[in-house]
Structure 1
Amino acid sequence: MGTGQRPVRRAAFADPLFVGLVVFSVLGLLWYLVPLANLEGMIRLFWPAQVVLDLTICLTSWQIWKMSGAVPATRRFWRSMAGATLLFSVGDSYQAVIAVGATPEKAITGGPVQLAFLAVGVAMPLWAMITHPIQAVRRGERLRFWLDAVIILAAVCAFIWVYSVSGAGGTGLPRLVLTVAGAAGMLICALGVLKLALGGNPPFTRAAAAVGIIGVTMTGAGIAVGGTLTDAGHYNLAMAASFVPCVVMAFAPKIQELGMRHGAATSTARRHGRVSVLPYVAVAATYALLVSVLWSAELSPRAWGIVAGAIVITTLVVARQLAALAENGALLHTIAQQEARFRALVQHASDITIVADSDAVITYASPAVQRVLGIAPEDVTGLTLQALIHPDDLEPLSLPADEAAVQTSQLRVRHADGSWRWLEVTSTNRLHDENVRGYICNARDVTEARAFQDQLRFDATHDALTGLANRLLFHRKLRGPASPGDPEALVGVLAIDLDGFKAINDTLGHHVGDEVLAMVAERLRRCVRPYDTVARLGGDEFAVILSPTTEQFADATADRIRAAVTQPAVIDGHHLQVGASVGVAIGTRTSADGLLRTADAAMYRAKRGGRDALAAS
């Protein structure tokens, strides 16, 4: 036990049942090994002692089964143990009655009824062990698990053969059948124990597992030597060989119960990549068994040299394998740490990472997709990049064609709520990389930054009061490129000055004047086409660019503007009316620099001609 098991050790010797088991074991061992009573007295107490141990295991297993902290698979195993030992106690109680007055051989050997209860009871935990889920889920782990199990089972078979089956010859068919059946039971039991030990999530603590394995091993040894001791008349030793393993088995569930009650781990789950040493222990044990059998065979020095060479070579191969496994384990641990670090970075990164194949089908999306776009990563996987992007932004998406080339673009991607978010996407071509085989797209949300930049650009080119184009944007539009279809198309410029505005502004205040200017701006918008440009050049001066136009259309638009502006309006409780003097100039964009001056001159002529006048040049 490690430092985490020290409270369990202290609690064990404060537990009445544990202390009782210790006292019972010591007294029982003395009872059979020291002639404190005659043979008949030993036999009379043999089966009642077994019943006490059976009920102790049953009670402790039942307590483990009822613990709420145990996982379902663990509770299922200990429930089967409680049921099995309850059956053992029934069979042993029956045998205790039969043993009264029977010969020593029949009294200490289980009868048919006791063996039947024993067989049914053993089947219950064996089935729970064999069907217990294993932790290995990948193919490589499952293969390693079964290879380890087969190696250890082969060693178990060798021991069973040497000490049980091969020694049963010449003792009669019943003894041979019983011996073979016991050997088969031991083999099945070994398979179940191995599955729990190697499967990665056994239903017992490390300490309870160690005690249980010792008990199972001693049980097999007791079966192997029990018949021989009985035939030789050593009845007390035969009973001790059966009693001691049962006592050891009784300690296993108690240690498990104490461990779970005082916070020890309820299972010995394997760490990822950890290699079990049990197969190598099995190899060493098998070689030791081979040497013990060959020792009495009187081999020649030449044969012993071959045996020694085989042992040395196997030892070196095993040592080399263990060194390689240790190195691989350290490498896997480093890789696991790096993978965990990468996953932690990706899980909490604010930027989106997407991998798309050569057909632009998304094969991976990081969790940031959920935070930025409100879409679960698994819902994005399998879609094409084009399915997420605004139709007008498909062209900027163009993925880099050259290997390792990088391309950055800004485009709109649909959010789960139906809105569009601006993303700055950096795409890298990693189609040649066998670990990626696709395009890596890193995207960050620039919606707010883009909106701020758009607002700055708008403020720089638009009038703050009316929202119309300012003088800078007006001149930019006027000097813009000619129409591709008709480079000589006419452009009309209308210069507009309000009549009567200064009086309103001076007498009623600037806030009323501002309302008048905003009203005029709205009326001007309604008088022109959506693609024409309306601008406020400053004060109460406005201008309009009509492109394309004709002289007739420009004059008609000017008339509409004069009529719309002169409509009376109620502003801040005042009935107000302003007029408009409009100057019109027509020309091509090649003469754009002079068009505004010409329109201004026409406007001033109209102003001199009277309020609400029109002049053309």
Structure 2
Amino acid sequence: MRLLPVRASLSVAAFAVTVFALNLTAPRGPEVLLWLGPCGAVLVPLVSAWRVARMPDLPAPTRRFWRTLAVCLVMAGCGAAAHGYDTIHSPSLGRHMSIGTISLYGLTMLLLLWSLIRLPMGTSGRGDVLRIALDAGTVMIAGAAFLWHFEARPQLEAAGYRPATLLAMTVTLLLELVTVFAIMKVALAGQAYIAPGALRLLAGALLVGALSSLLQGLIEDRRHLDMVQLTLPAILVCVTAAAERQRKVGVTRATREKAGRSPFSRLPYLAVAGVDLLLLISVRSGADLLPTVIAVIALTGLVMWRQVTAFRENAELLSRLDHSATHDALTQLPNRALFTERLAATLAAGGPCRGIGVALIDLDDFKIVNDTLGHQAGDVLLVAVAQRLRACLRPGDTAARLGGDEFVVLLEDVTPDEAEGVMRRMIDVLTEPVLADGQHLLVRASIGIAGGRLGEEPDEVLRRADIAMYAAKHGGGGAVQRYRPGMAGAVAGSAALGAELQQALAAGELFLEYQPIVSLSDRRIIGAEALMRWSHPVRGRIAPAEFIPVAERTGLIVTIGAWALHEACRQFAAWRQEHGADAPGTLSVNVSPRQLADPDLVAHVRAALAGAGLPADCLTLDLTGTAEADLTEAAQRLRELRDLGVRVALDDFGTGQASLTLLHRLPVDQLKLDRAFLDPADGTGVPMPSAVLALARAAGLEVVAEGVETADEAAALAACGYRMAQGFHLGPPMPGAELGQRLSSHQTAVTS
């Protein structure tokens, strides 16, 4: 808080107190000196309030309040000047003010009231608004009772119930009630947008103003004195200090959100106690008994209303707490505790029931979504899955979220086949893309189903469903598996394989073999595809079909794939250096959907090429499993790779889902025809290799035929117009050194 404005305001107030004290017993000096303090005291808080109103970092409601308060200060100063003029130059008015002075004071209070009404209360709902209204009403009724008993009635009795007296007293009472309301508004609600220290000072200023009329009776016999001469400078000191406090503290979002219990929240209780005391006084004195009883009855009604509201709010709070304890905060599905409770009740209940099914659902590749798009996109995906689960269930079934990306469903009164059918329909529903953060995300889930029997423990049923879910996941994901005895051993073996795979790369157990890509016209090796292999120290060679899916599920394929890329580029560079023009012209390396989703893939490719000193156009990335990829993200990543000069091939073309759609949406340079289309005796009469070749030529793409295992197949492909092929007939996968020997001896194909 800046001390200079506060000291200046205190100096003016001290001057007003000094002049008031000197004139307390009798007039001393010009009477105008008594009004210099109240009029001059407006200047300092006016400047301070205007400075606060111009602070750009304050919320708009706060700046607007202080701007209006500055206008109120100008009007209050004019009102004080008019009041002084009435006192000095219009002795016929006696203790009363002119209509002009009353109007200025009244407009000031109305403008202040309007600014307070516009000030947002920062409440959390209708309950808070009602509570504040009831508390304000309680204080205002108490204030009206006190003002009538101690001010209005005595003055009316002394001056007589004349129309002019009644009008003046009515205006005075209304202004004082407005002041009481202003105190309540600031005290009970204003702290949402006013700094707490400033709040207390403003409430204190309004309280001093409300007491001014009550104190007036102490100097009733001294016509030259008025309590405004003393209280207005004190009020303006509080306003100056409040403005400077606001300038120092400001109001941040955190301050508004953490605004706690108002320091004036006990005012309603004090108001009730005060009216009860006033009732005792009225009973004893016999004066104002009826108005006081009416006030007590009104307060009793408000207090009862307030208590009923509090009871209702407490009940709603308990209901929300109970819901929070048993439901997931994000998806609003039952949580693990509530699901276990319902499952236990179902397993313990008797009665006719064909059986129950428990389905454990785990989202495939959810970690990739979180890592690449952020947790907000992951939350959107989880909420969408929860909504789809609800939509698929029958009345009486239960869906819950266990945590992370795991959901569970309890199906009652179903056979095992019916439960599996429900889950397969759920798989289909989940496959619809979800729009999150501008991306269309493909949802894949692995679902395990286990049946439950009467009297079983819930944990045992969940354990079996968990085993079945992992079996579905180890089978490639996106599938439903029903629990079978002995399944636990197979799942455990697959899990153990994943743990061993983590150590295989560091232990040097992984290596690459290279399958030649051959020109069908002269059998010359024109390219090579790098294929990953694993030599286990105990189990020997493990087939790629066994460990590659494990690497995909665990995410290890990203690390292993980056290693394979660097190792293949190193070997390719060695061939080029050793064999020159006889070296393969292109190198093909497989890239999986998980690698394609990795934001560092482009950087890995760039680093591998630079480390081996290779041009980008010699590298071809073979896309595998693209039906599982996010096509929007994949297309963007592939465009970045092609900008480097890297070529892209669509592997296993013709199999999987929507190959033509992939061809349309992904930027590719080459198709690799799957072996499934090489068998001429498929019964369709359609020459698929010729059809695919025509399609590729129309799209301006190269074609490589895969899986050529016989001389007849090679001859048929050459007759169709194929230039390149690979397969065991043309050359099996082999170590890099062996392929180098073939290059040296110009041995290009296996002799049939």
TM-score (norm 1): 0.53
Displacement of 1:423: 0.8
CA separation of 1:274/1:107 partners in 2, compared to 1, >3 Å: closer, same or farther? closer
8 Å CA contact retained: 2:122, 2:189: yes
1:26 equivalent to 2:44? Answer: no
CA separation of 1:422/1:216 partners in 2, compared to 1, >3 Å: closer, same or farther? closer
What is aligned with 1:528? 682
CA separation of 1:338/1:381 partners in 2, compared to 1, >3 Å: closer, same or farther? closer
The sequence identity of aligned pairs, in percent, is 15
After TM superposition, list the pairs within 5 Å mapping 1:555-570 onto structure 2.
569=718
Displacement of 1:235: 3.7
| Alignment equivalent of 1:220, drawn from 210, 215, 224 | 210
8 Å CA contact retained: 2:86, 2:93: no
1:421 equivalent to 2:443? Answer: yes
CA separation of 1:143/1:118 partners in 2, compared to 1, >3 Å: closer, same or farther? closer
Displacement of 1:160: 1.6
What is the alpha-carbon distance in structure 2 between the residues aligned to residue 36 and residue 204 of structure 1?
Answer: 38
What is aligned with 2:108? 121
Displacement of 1:135: 2.7
Letter aligned with residue 111 of structure 2: M
What is aligned with 1:186? 176
1:249 equivalent to 2:249? Answer: no
CA separation of 1:221/1:384 partners in 2, compared to 1, >3 Å: closer, same or farther? closer
What is the alpha-carbon distance in structure 2 between the residues aligned to residue 279 and residue 428 of structure 1?
Answer: 61
8 Å CA contact retained: 1:155, 1:282: yes
2:445 alignment partner, SS class: strand
Displacement of 1:43: 2.2
Letter aligned with residue 288 of structure 1: L
8 Å CA contact retained: 2:192, 2:256: yes
What is aligned with 2:71? 83
What is the alpha-carbon distance in structure 1 between the residues aligned to residue 13 and residue 470 of structure 2?
Answer: 73
8 Å CA contact retained: 1:53, 1:247: yes
What is aligned with 1:209? 199
| Alignment equivalent of 1:258, drawn from 225, 244, 252 | 244
Displacement of 1:181: 1.1
1:63 alignment partner, SS class: helix
1:277 equivalent to 2:266? Answer: yes
2:444 alignment partner, SS class: strand
What is the alpha-carbon distance in structure 2 between the residues aligned to residue 405 and residue 65 of structure 1?
Answer: 71
What is the alpha-carbon distance in structure 1 between the residues aligned to residue 278 and residue 724 of structure 2?
Answer: 114
Letter aligned with residue 127 of structure 2: G
CA separation of 1:165/1:418 partners in 2, compared to 1, >3 Å: closer, same or farther? closer
Q: Residues 358-398 of structure 1, C-alpha deviation per residue, up to 9 Å, x if partnerless?
A: xxxxxxxx9989635976958985997469xxxxxxxxx99
1:402 equivalent to 2:412? Answer: yes
What is the alpha-carbon distance in structure 2 between the residues aligned to residue 400 and residue 341 of structure 1?
Answer: 16
8 Å CA contact retained: 1:200, 1:268: no
What is aligned with 1:600? none
8 Å CA contact retained: 2:58, 2:250: no
8 Å CA contact retained: 1:43, 1:108: no
What is the alpha-carbon distance in structure 2 between the residues aligned to residue 210 and residue 398 of structure 1?
Answer: 54
Q: Residues 20-79 of structure 1, C-alpha deviation per residue, up to 9 Å, x if partnerless?
A: 222332332232123499626362112222211222332222122112232222222221
1:371 equivalent to 2:525? Answer: no
What is aligned with 1:304? none
What is aligned with 2:144? 157
8 Å CA contact retained: 2:79, 2:105: yes
Structure number with larger C-alpha Rg: 1
CA separation of 1:39/1:251 partners in 2, compared to 1, >3 Å: closer, same or farther? same
What is the alpha-carbon distance in structure 2 between the residues aligned to residue 520 and residue 42 of structure 1?
Answer: 111
After TM superposition, list the pairs within 5 Å mapping 1:500-519 onto structure 2.
none
1:71 equivalent to 2:59? Answer: yes
CA separation of 1:254/1:176 partners in 2, compared to 1, >3 Å: closer, same or farther? same
1:112 equivalent to 2:102? Answer: no
CA separation of 1:527/1:89 partners in 2, compared to 1, >3 Å: closer, same or farther? same
CA separation of 1:520/1:197 partners in 2, compared to 1, >3 Å: closer, same or farther? closer
Displacement of 1:193: 3.0
What is the alpha-carbon distance in structure 2 between the residues aligned to residue 16 and residue 281 of structure 1?
Answer: 36
What is the alpha-carbon distance in structure 2 between the residues aligned to residue 30 and residue 169 of structure 1?
Answer: 32
What is the alpha-carbon distance in structure 2 between the residues aligned to residue 161 and residue 72 of structure 1?
Answer: 39
> Which stretch has the larger CA shift, 265-274 or 333-342?
333-342
Structure 2: segments with no counterpart, 5+ residues: 288-292, 340-365, 394-406, 452-464, 480-492, 495-513, 517-583, 585-671, 686-709, 730-751
What is the alpha-carbon distance in structure 1 between the residues aligned to residue 84 and residue 176 of structure 2?
Answer: 25
What is the alpha-carbon distance in structure 2 between the residues aligned to residue 336 and residue 258 of structure 1?
Answer: 45
CA separation of 1:291/1:60 partners in 2, compared to 1, >3 Å: closer, same or farther? farther
CA separation of 1:568/1:146 partners in 2, compared to 1, >3 Å: closer, same or farther? closer
What is the alpha-carbon distance in structure 1 between the residues aligned to residue 382 and residue 56 of structure 2?
Answer: 35
2:443 alignment partner, SS class: strand
Letter aligned with residue 528 of structure 1: D
**What do you get for the CA RMSD once the two structures are aligned?**
5.9
Displacement of 1:83: 0.9
| Alignment equivalent of 2:34, drawn from 39, 46, 53 | 46
Displacement of 1:18: 0.8
| Alignment equivalent of 1:60, drawn from 48, 53, 66 | 48
Letter aligned with residue 287 of structure 1: D
2:412 alignment partner, SS class: coil
1:424 alignment partner, SS class: strand
After TM superposition, list the pairs within 5 Å mapping 1:88-487 onto structure 2.
88-96=76-84, 102-103=90-91, 106=93, 110-170=97-157, 171-172=159-160, 173=162, 174-199=164-189, 201-226=191-216, 229-230=219-220, 232=221, 234-235=222-223, 238-239=225-226, 241-263=227-249, 276-297=265-286, 335=321, 343=329, 371=377, 377=383, 385=391, 400-402=410-412, 411=427, 413-416=431-434, 420-425=442-447, 451=476
Structure 1: segments with no counterpart, 5+ residues: 1-7, 299-306, 354-365, 388-396, 430-440, 458-463, 467-510, 512-517, 532-560, 579-611, 613-617
What is the alpha-carbon distance in structure 1 between the residues aligned to residue 718 and residue 388 of structure 2?
Answer: 60
8 Å CA contact retained: 1:169, 1:176: yes
8 Å CA contact retained: 2:20, 2:230: no
8 Å CA contact retained: 1:151, 1:282: yes
Q: Residues 453-475 of structure 1, C-alpha deviation per residue, up to 9 Å, x if partnerless?
A: 99x99xxxxxx989xxxxxxxxx
Letter aligned with residue 414 of structure 1: E
8 Å CA contact retained: 1:100, 1:107: no
8 Å CA contact retained: 1:216, 1:245: no
8 Å CA contact retained: 2:38, 2:80: yes
What is the alpha-carbon distance in structure 1 between the residues aligned to residue 674 and residue 31 of structure 2?
Answer: 120
Letter aligned with residue 241 of structure 2: I
Displacement of 1:149: 1.9
